[in-house]
Amino acid sequence: MEFCEVMKMKYTVETAYPYEFVKCKTLVDARKQVRKFKKEGKHASIIAVTENGNDYIVE
């Protein structure tokens, strides 16, 4: 189990312009969504938000 999954984070995948946001339940789901966007030629990144509101970019 990864550290991020222990902290009960919320994950959002976002793309560069045109902006698209997809909420994901797990880090694995978020990584799958990033791969899907990259196959479409879009730049995507994962944003993880902790329980106390800190946010991190996961590459």
pLDDT, tens digit (0-9, with 9 covering 90-100), for 3-44: 545 568 899 999 999 999 999 999 999 999 999 999 999 999
**Residue 21: strand pairing partners:** 14
CA distance 24 to 30: 5
Provide the residue range defining the domain that includes 17: 3-58
The pTM assigned to this predicted structure is 0.79
In total, how many domains does the chain have?
Answer: 1
Instruction: Give kind and range of the element (H or E) at residue 24.
Output: strand 21-24
